Amino acid sequence: MSNEYLRNVLASQSLADDSEELKSLQQHRADVEKLLKEKFPKAKLTIRYGGSKAKGTLIKASYDLDVIGYFDRDETAAGDTLKDIYDNVALALAEKYQVERRTSALRLRVLDPNGQGSDLHIDIVPGRYTDDTRTDVYLHQNLANKDRLKTNLQTHIDHVRDSGVTDAIRLMKLWKVLNAIGLKTFVLELLVIDLLAGKTNWGLTDQLTHILTELRDNSEELTVEDPANPSGNDLTETLDQHRNTLQWVAKRTLETVSSHGWESVFGKVEEEAKDEKIRKLHRVATAAVPIRPYAKIKN
C-alpha cells in the first residue's frame, strides 16, 4: 500500500509534455535561442536542454528548465574569456528579461521596471567547450573561489537518467522542497544514487527509508563525487553546509512515517493521481488504432 501511495505521489508530480507549464517553458526556450543567435549571428553556439527535464527527474513542486549555451573552443564572438562570455550573454538576455546572475547560471525573470518580474523557471548556462570533441566544457564561476569550472553536461545527464533510481530521486527532491532544505539538487541526486547502489530493485518505501536512515545515522560520513570532474569539483563544502539539517529532518521524517505513515510526509494525492492515470489511459486509448473485426489479417 505504501509503494502504491508513493507511486501516486509521483503521478501527481508529473508534468505531461502537453501541459501548459511545459509548453510555456519550451516557448521561452525557443525565444532565448532566437535571441542569442540574433545577438551572436556568426558564433558556433550549441543550445540544448539540461537539468531535470533531460535527466527525467522533474517534479511539479519545483521545476526549472536548464538551457545550456556552449560556444566552440576557438569561438570569440561572445568574448575572449569565460567571464566575457558570461557577461555578454547576460547583457544580451537583459534586453528582454530580468537577469539574476548566479554562480554559473543566469536566472531569467519577466522584464519589469520595478524589478519584481515573475520567475520564468529558466536558467541559462553559458560556457565554452574545452576542445573540438564538444564534450567537456568550461564554465565561468561568478563570485566564487575558482573563476572557472570544468564539467560535462552529458556525463551528468547519463549518470542520473541511467541510475535506475530516478523515482527515488524525484521523491527526495519533493522531500527537500517540502522541508525547505537548501542543499543543491545535483548534490542530493548524487547522494541518492550512491546510497541506493545495488538497491535499484527495492520498492520505493524501502529505498526512501534506507536513504533517510543513512542521513539520520551517518550524515557525517556521507560523501559525493562529481562524475564529470571528481578531482576538480570538490562538493564537500556544499554537503558540509547541510549535514546537520539533513540529519535532523531525516530523523523527524522517519518518526512521522513510523507514527502516521507516508501521507503525513507528502500529503493527500490520491484523487489527483487517479485523475492523471485516467488522462494517461485516455491518451493511450485515443492513440490506438483498433483492428476492425471484419478486416482481413495478412500473414
**So where are the chain's domains?**
2-260
pLDDT at position 286, please? 42
Per-residue pLDDT, 276:
47
Q: What is the pLDDT of residue 115?
A: 67
* pTM summary value: 0.85
- Is the pLDDT at 292 greater than 60, yes or no? no
Given this model, what pLDDT does residue 67 score?
92
Beta-carbon-side half-sphere exposure of residue 28 (alpha carbons within 13 Å): 24
Nearest residue to 31 via CA among 62, 65, 59, 61: 65
Q: How many residues does the chain have?
A: 299
Q: What is the mean pLDDT of residues 249-278?
A: 81
In the predicted model, is pLDDT for residue 270 greater than 80? no
* pLDDT score of 278: 41
| Grid coordinates of 97 | 528579461
Assign domain 2-260 one CATH number from 3.10.20.30, 3.30.9.10, 3.30.460.10, 3.40.50.1970: 3.30.460.10
pLDDT of residue 118: 84
C-alpha pair distances (Å), 102 with each of 99, 125, 155, 165 = 9, 10, 22, 29
Tens of pLDDT, residue by residue over 180-224, are 999 999 999 999 999 999 999 999 999 999 999 999 999 999 999
Mean confidence (pLDDT) of the chain: 88
Spell out a b/e string for 44-56, using b for 16 or more CB atoms within 10 Å of the CB, else e. ebebebbbbbbbe
